[in-house]
Amino acid sequence: MPASMRVTRLLLEPVLAIMLSLVALAVLLAVSGYSVPAALSALWHGAFGSWAVLASGTLVRATPLLFAGLAVAVAFRAGILNIGAEGQLLAGAAAATAVAVTVSPQLGLAGAGLALVAGVAAGGLWAGIAAFLRQQFGVLEVISTIMLNVIMLHLTGLLVRGPLQEPTATFPQSALIDQALRLPRLVPGTRLHAGVVLAVCSALLVWWFLRSTARGFRLRMTGANPRAAASAGGIHVARVATSAFIASGAIAGLGGAVEVTGVTFALYENLSPGYGYTAIAVALLARLNPMAAIGSAVVFGALEAGAAAMQRDAQVPAGMVGVAEACVILVLLASEWIGARAGRISTLFWGGPPPTQHSVTPSAAVDPA
Amino acid sequence: MNTLADFLDASVRSATPLLLAAIGETVSERSGVINVGLEGTIIVGCLAGLAAATVVGPTGALVVAGMAGLALALVFAVVAIWIGADQIITGTAITMLGLGLTGTLYRVLYGDSGSALSTPTLAPLGIPLLQDLPLIGHALFRQPLPAYLATALVPAVWWWLNRTHSGLAIRATGENPAAARSSGISPRRVQTIAVLFGGLCGGLAGGTLVLAQVGTFAEGMSAGRGFIAIAIVALGRWSPVGAAMAALFFGMASALQFLFQALDLNLPYQIFLALPYLLTLLALALAKGRYRAPAALGARVRVVELA
């Protein structure tokens, strides 16, 4: 396939998916009796209305989505269906908070760095449980990561009512993280923090890793066809898959750590409004490409920020945006099929050009072993 | 000393929606399709049940709830089976769709005020004499209609899967779709039927939650039951009887919090909320090698159809 065609297709389908989903949203709004122009205008203004809104709303929300989206992309590319970014993100947030409220504020940015490292470790560890269960006991990671998400949610609830509760012990949340240990603001007067730079750098790093390193190549091969990777490539498939799983959790954990040190400054139960699940849509819209995930995270960040504005200004339930997000995924899945019918059947199979370039989903979604 | 009897009663009550959902998912997974959208199916059943109850009464509403679950499963079937997209990702989207749609519709229909609407719940049906048995009387023989329905489905689905031609077709498709196809079975059609049955059961589970237990709707009230049901299927080794035992085990784990409250043991309630999930992970790990998933579970149909 010529490069120009590939780029067109790479852009065409996501744009189509977003537009169709906005149409679905408009229809749903109309059916529910809301004023479609008023609601969509509130959505737009809440997402892109001004520089301040763009920075404080859209980009701030895009940051955890990008981290979690990268986590999903890395795992899916390795053929691991990690649905657990939500729990791994929370684990990272909890660990980072624990460190940040313990260390001396005099450490400054180094202290913030420590908190981020703790987040990475906790996210990796939480994913590591699922990776271990998969490796040692053959427990489907889809089931185990969903279970671990719920367990982490309740664990967070336990932490903010117990060991990590704020000093007055009245509210179910942790103490506020000291000013000195917070991530610096990028633009004064907005909520935009240094974490967004970290997220973009992570995206570039993951992109480079997958594209240009031998380990990245082994990861992609493991995801594309584990049996061929093992027999023809001599790749230690199990080890690669486990590492990718843990790395995926670590990235999500970093996202959680960035969220508490950059945005919320405290740990509480409903820290994530489902970032880990929306991340699946983020990764799919980007066709599992880490670079494209930057744009895709901004799109979903805008949707989330716009949804909040829509609820505030047009009294439209924010859940409606969840419907739009689900539509994005379903339309993308369907468009892959339509694309295939248009004479590109070869890309359906592992034999074609690198499958992850074209396929929304890993070919070997479920390891038959 | 009624604590133990109450505990058993609460266990069966908690287990009922889980069993309904798990029975349906068992059939679906035996045909090779894992439907993670079950969570969405259940919540759609919840809202449909509540909305219908105001019109047709609780028993009729149960049917409507099942139909609503079936409708959402149809969307899943179109994308995952007929288009051949990845089952897990499709299922995740279906769950998001169900949660978003119900949250929105509830507010649209009944306003923003949380529990604005409630419905009378299905009364427990007591079986004469048996319901007076000590300890297990109420738990087993004085339950609302869905509990008996779920119990009846266990042998019925066992019979369907193991003793009928269509059951054989389902199992054959789940083990080896290509072979099933070459013996004249249409894997897609078989899987569609299995998934729709799963949706029906999921909707019934949601209806049960509203019509036999809570009596009202709350956003996200399915609270992960769809995911637990999927775990139950694995824990029950893809058999209806196993699912029944696993569901009861889960019901007991959930009911433990009532028992501990009654016994005045002051443990943080989050522990009880997390306990069923923790036990599932342990049980799945310990069951290593003693169970085997249908060989083609989760495989993408398209590859089969074209191969």
Mind listing the pLDDT tens digit for each residue in A248-277?
A: 999 999 999 999 999 999 999 889 988 998
Neighbours of B192 (CB within 10 A): 22
Tokens of B101: 């749609």
CB pairs under 8 A between A and B: 162
Q: Tell me the mean pLDDT in the region A79-99.
A: 95
Residue A366 has a pLDDT of: 40
**Angle, vertex CA B66, rays to CA B36 and CA B24, nearest 5:** 45
pLDDT in tens, A194-233: 999 999 999 999 999 999 999 999 999 998 888 889 888 8
Cβ <8 Å between A317 and B107 = yes
Measured in whole angstroms, how far is the alpha carbon of residue A130 from the centre of its chain? 18
Q: Which of the listed ranges A19-28, A327-336, B203-212 does the model predict with the highest average pLDDT?
A: B203-212
- B270 contacts in chain A (CB < 8 Å): 154-155, 157-158, 161
- A154 contacts in chain B (CB < 8 Å): 270-271, 273-274
**Angle, vertex CA A130, rays to CA A349 and CA A266, nearest 5:** 115
Cβ <8 Å between B268 and A322 = no
Cβ <8 Å between B97 and A322 = yes
Cβ <8 Å between B84 and A32 = no
pLDDT in tens, A98-124: 999 999 888 889 999 999 999 999 999
Residue A363 has a pLDDT of: 44
Coil vs helix vs strand at B142: strand
**Spatial CB neighbours of A268, under 8 Å, sequence gap ≥ 6:** A156, A160, A172, A173, A174
The partner residue sitting opposite B88, judged by closest CB among A142, A281, A325, is A142
Tokens of A274: 């489902």
pLDDT in tens, A289-312: 999 999 999 999 998 899 888 888
Using 50, 70 and 90 to split pLDDT, how confident is the model at A2? low
Quick check: A142 pLDDT over 50? yes
What residues in chain B have per-residue pLDDT under 50? 1, 302-307
Tokens of B154: 């266990």
Of A308 and A69, more confident: A69
Tokens of B116: 């604005």
Question: CA of B106, closest CA in chain A: separation in Å?
Answer: 10
Strand partners, B126: B142
Q: Tell me the mean pLDDT in the region A2-23.
A: 76
Weakest mean pLDDT among A232-236, A357-361, B56-60: A357-361
Cβ <8 Å between A28 and B85 = no
Measured between its terminal Cα atoms, the distance across chain B in Å is 64
Cβ <8 Å between A147 and B293 = no
Tell me phi and psi for residue B143, to 5 degrees. -125, 160
Residue A344 has a pLDDT of: 44
The partner residue sitting opposite A333, judged by closest CB among B90, B100, B273, is B90
Identify whether the C-beta of residue A148 lies closer than 8 Å to the C-beta of residue A87: yes
pLDDT in tens, B143-186: 888 999 999 999 999 999 999 999 999 999 999 888 888 888 99
Place of tokens 């998912």: B25
Using 50, 70 and 90 to split pLDDT, how confident is the model at A345? very low
Question: CA of B48, closest CA in chain A: separation in Å?
Answer: 16
Q: Tell me the mean pLDDT in the region A133-145.
A: 88
Residue A274 has a pLDDT of: 86
Residue B216 has a pLDDT of: 86
Tokens of A145: 């990561």
